[in-house]
Amino acid sequence: MSFDLLIEKIREKNNPTVMGLDPVLDYIPAQIKKRALAEYSDDFKAAGEAIFEFNKGLIDAAAEYIPAVKPQSAFYEMYGIDGLIALEKTIAYAKAAGLYVILDVKRNDIGSTAEAYARAYLGETELFGSSKAATPVDCVTVNPYLGIDGVKPFVDICNERDKGIFILVKTSNKSSGDFQDLTVGDKPLYRHVADKVNEWGSGSISNGYSCCGAVVGATYPSQLAELREALPNTFFLIPGYGAQGGTAKDIACAFDRHRLGAIVNSSRGLMCAYQKAGDDGRNFKACTRDAVIEMRDDINAEIGG
């Protein structure tokens, strides 16, 4: 139940990190784009194929070392149907490589629509006398702003199908405090959201953690420490490491005594490692592999791995 599968994979790889797969064409090595443009006359089709080829290389480079990947849906949606096809193929490729897949979609809506979203991403779609999973991922990100009727459908399917959700609590972006830090009653709004995350997941605890995880940014280490104390049964997804300025020292407080309880995301730092290394892209796999190992070792050194 809940995050058992993710915990198993983190232990197997001794690595509490997730590679974000947020592709834009500027990140993709020139030779991959050149091949795609030579094969496809339609620019969107070429973009979709280039994205998938790049993602395959990233997964091939990292799968031995990381437990999970996190594609961000928006970076595929902006390339239209061909981008969504690339996302579908990326998910299938990552699952075939044995990786846990978190789809970053930040969905929510009123009850009936939230139920449709939950079925689309975590459950099954009723078809012609049968049902099938439309998007076979392990976990999605969820926006809690609409309250329980927008979250309960996701929680119900998590409990039915051993899936997980990460709910936005204290995000890593600079303007997160515009709303999340507002004082409501005697505490900031993000603490009220955290209380609800705790409540919503209270009936699904396994291995110490519920099916309702929380997104808490590495860029706010004091709030991260505060929320870890307040949410001992909540698994954290931590964005903001690396390119956004978060460090391993900043996020060490998020882990429990077993070095579990959190998974740390890096997107650009791993996808674009070849650019940082000054490589022309021909060795992007090796550069990503080296960056994955460096990130793993950096975090494990802080949490006692």
What residues does 246 pair with on adjacent strands?
241
Contacts of 222 (CB under 8 A, 6+ apart): none
Place of tokens 């929680």: 155
Take residue 59 and report the two structure tokens written for it: 């997964």
DSSP 124: -
Catalytic residue (choose from 89, 106, 152, 196): 106
13 among known catalytic residues: no
Active site residues: 106
